[in-house]
Structure 1
Amino acid sequence: MNILEMKNVTKQFGGLTAVGNVSIQVEKGSIFGLIGPNGAGKTTIFNLITGIYKVSEGEIIFQDQRIDQFQPYQIADMGITRTFQNIRLFKKLTAYENILTACHYNANYNILDAVIRTHRFKKEEKMLHDHAEELMEIMELKDRKDIVSSNLPYGLQRRLEIARALALNPKLLLLDEPAAGMNPDETIKLMELIRQIREQFKLTVVVIEHHMDLIMGVCDKIAVLNFGRKLAEGTAQEIQENPKVIEAYLGEEEVNC
């Protein structure tokens, strides 16, 4: 069963075609990779899925419902969350406050409950704080709980951004270059973490990444983009052996050697 489908999706900016006639199917519960050279259209696809950009042509379907004309907040309400290529944390808040702020998106009390501190308010607040603590534990951030997010090491800021996305209880998690700036050991740990959160939270994950070790090691299926068009799709082994993919990454001269 597919949780996400892109059907012949095109996105044009004036005379520039950033994404051209791309079709992708993401199976529920899978980890799906998007790779390609810089400027291939990968982040544009994330922006189309999350409603930041509107499609020029084609359809995007999430859980059997067309979403390509929805607003970003409506798409988030349906269960799609993301991280960004350039980290977008609340820099002056602590690690814990960053996560708790996102947890409050799911609060089920009203302003009156909060003002007079009703039983429902207290119960909900405890649940939200417990969820934030759980995410801190999973992301190995508990000992950095009270550190302002901008003072965290880069790799931990990446983990914090993932934790904040998980706080919204998504069904589909989009990770835009989560290993950017990480060393090899951190990348291996991240690969294990992506598998863990997929299993623990019953998620589907789509990953954009330039670290081939991570993509090849964690993804069930991979799509390759080049100049805004889908070049190939398949398992890690199929992608590694595909002559068109090798040419796109290495150039024709190397392929013919």
Structure 2
Amino acid sequence: MNILEFKNVTKNFGGLTAVGNVSFEVEKDSIFGLIGPNGAGKTTIFNLITGIYKISQGEIYFQNHSIHGLQPYKIAQGGITRTFQNIRLFKKLTTYENILTACHDNANYGILDTMLRNAKYKEQEAKLHIKAQELMEILGLSSQKDIIASNLPYGMQRRLEIARALALNPSLLLLDEPAAGMNPDETIKLMELIKEIRTRFGLSIVVIEHHMDLIMGICDRIMVLNFGRKLADGIAQEIQENPKVREAYLGEEEEHC
């Protein structure tokens, strides 16, 4: 069963085709990798999935329902959340406050409940605080609970952004270069974390990443983009052995007799 389907999707910016007639499927509960040279259209695809950009042609289906034309907040409420290549946190809030703020998207009490601080408000607030604590523990952030987000080490900021995305209870998590700026040891730990998140939360995950060890180590399938068009897709071994991928992505040219 596919959780996400791209069908002949094109995105034009004036005379520039950023994504050209791209089709692919992401299976439920899988980790799907999206790779390609800088400017290949990877982040544009994320922006199309989340409704930040509107497609020029084609269709996008999430859980068998078209999400073409929906506003970003509707898509997020429907179960798709993401992180960004450039980290976007509430810089002046603590780690705990960042996560708790995201958790509040799941609250269903009203203004009157808040003013009266009645039983409904107190019960839900207690559950949200427990969830925030659990996410900190899972993401290895408990020791950073009271640290202002802007003061966190870079790798911890990345983890915090993932925690905030998970707070929204997604079915599909989009990770845009989660290992950017991390050292090799941090990257290895992130690989294990992503696999744990998939299992623990029953998620499907799409990852954009330049760290090939990470992509090859965690992804069930991988798609390669080049100049906005699909160059190849398959399992890790197929991608590694594809001469067109080596030429376009790794800068290797095929030998001609």
TM bin (shorter chain): over 0.9
Name the SS for the 2:52 alignment partner.
coil
Name the SS for the 2:129 alignment partner.
helix
Q: Unpaired runs of 5+ in structure 1? A: none
Hey, what does 2:142 align to over in structure 1? 142
Q: Unpaired runs of 5+ in structure 2? A: none
Q: Deviations over 1:61-91 (max 9, x none)?
A: 0011000110001100100000000000000
Hey, what does 2:64 align to over in structure 1? 64
Q: Deviations over 1:136-158 (max 9, x none)?
A: 00011101100000000000000
For 1:1-257, list aligned pairs within 5 A: 1-251=1-251, 253=253, 255-256=254-255
TM-score by length of 2: 0.98
State the distance in 2 between where 1:176 and 1:186 align: 16
Equivalent position amino acid for 2:3 in 1: I
Name the SS for the 1:173 alignment partner.
strand
State the distance in 2 between where 1:100 and 1:250 align: 42
Could you tell me the percent identity over the aligned residues? 77
State the distance in 1 between where 2:208 and 2:201 align: 20
Q: Deviations over 1:22-68 (max 9, x none)?
A: 00100000000000000000000000000000000000000110001
Give the superposition deviation at 1:252.
Answer: 5.1
State the distance in 1 between where 2:70 and 2:251 align: 39
Give the superposition deviation at 1:251.
Answer: 3.1
When the two chains are superposed, the root-mean-square deviation of aligned CA atoms in Å is: 0.8
State the distance in 1 between where 2:116 and 2:243 align: 66
State the distance in 2 between where 1:111 and 1:198 align: 35
State the distance in 2 between where 1:250 and 1:177 align: 18
